[in-house]
Amino acid sequence: MLASASVGFVGFVRRHPIVSAAVIVLALTFGLVTASAVAVWNAAHTDDARRIDHVDAILVLGAAQYNGTPSPVLEERLNHAKVLLDQGRAPVIVTLGSNEPGDRTTEAQAGKDYLVAQGVPADAVVAEPAGNSTWESLRAAASYMHDHGMGSAFLVSDPWHNLRIKRMAGDLGITPYASATSHAAARSSGTRLSGYVRETFAYLFYRLFGGH
């Protein structure tokens, strides 16, 4: 019975070109989304710092700050960057991120101030506060790196961002290596799943439309 129903459906599709085209589009879309989701998952579970000993800079992607105090998400990223610096994996940390209207400081400056307060030498941290999106922040970082003869970087963010930020950084001329925080910002499985789903579509959007 199932076999006959399947044959009937195939015959229906063949007799209706519009339906056939729609089925093909849906199948391709599903395949693309599935492949992207798998790629995002795999990248999230890969720490490039395990195979790369040294880079030119450590880039910390911005997250919320409250009057100069990093949010728990940003603090996790900064702490991870400090570990990499303390291990001698790079000579400098570059903190990224601008501010929201009404903020008295930027994510980048809050990040630098936090690291200096944690004992990181001030001349080992550079704040690049330009950009209100991931693309704009990485573009500012790329400009700084190119101006200072730097080519490679560890990118520090949350795990599910790894694939997209590596793609963006590579498109901007940086040799990118992702080293995400060991503790994701999302603590519950439901929130983590939401993060992966959201990032899958963000990655697809970037691949289709770029960072502009």
For the chain, the domain total comes to: 1
Give me the domain span that covers residue 136: 48-187
Task: Report whether pLDDT(7) > 60.
Answer: no
What number is the average pLDDT over the span 163-190? 84
State the pLDDT at residue 104. Answer: 87
Q: Of the given ranges (6-15, 65-74, 77-86, 117-126), which has the lowest mean pLDDT?
A: 6-15
**In whole angstroms, what is the distance from residue 28 CA to residue 121 CA?**
51
Task: Report whether pLDDT(156) > 60.
Answer: yes
Task: Report whether pLDDT(178) > 90.
Answer: yes
Query: What phi, psi does 112 have (nearest 5°)?
Result: -65, -45
Is-contact 124 95, C-beta < 8 A? Answer: no
**In whole angstroms, what is the distance from residue 63 CA to residue 177 CA?**
19
| Structure confidence at residue 13 as a pLDDT band (50, 70, 90) | low
Q: Does a structural domain hold residue 161? A: yes
Structure tokens given for 61: 């992607």
Structure tokens given for 197: 């789903």
Task: Report whether pLDDT(27) > 90.
Answer: no
Residue bearing the bigger pLDDT, 134 or 15: 134
Q: Does a structural domain hold residue 5? A: no
Task: Report whether pLDDT(2) > 60.
Answer: no
Q: Does a structural domain hold residue 160? A: yes
| Spatial CA neighbour of 138 closest among 195, 97, 175 | 97
Specify the CATH number for the domain of residue 67: 3.40.50.620
pTM of the entire structure? 0.84
Q: Of the given ranges (35-39, 89-93, 94-98), which has the lowest mean pLDDT?
A: 35-39
| Structure confidence at residue 33 as a pLDDT band (50, 70, 90) | confident
Q: Does a structural domain hold residue 128? A: yes
Element housing 131 (H / E): none
Which residues are within 8 A (CB) of 39 and not within 5 positions of it... i.e. 6 or more apart? 163, 203
State the pLDDT at residue 29. Answer: 72
**In whole angstroms, what is the distance from residue 34 CA to residue 204 CA?**
11
pLDDT digits (tens, 9 = 90+) for 94-134: 999 998 777 889 999 999 999 999 999 999 999 999 888 99
| Structure confidence at residue 212 as a pLDDT band (50, 70, 90) | low
What number is the average pLDDT over the span 9-21? 61
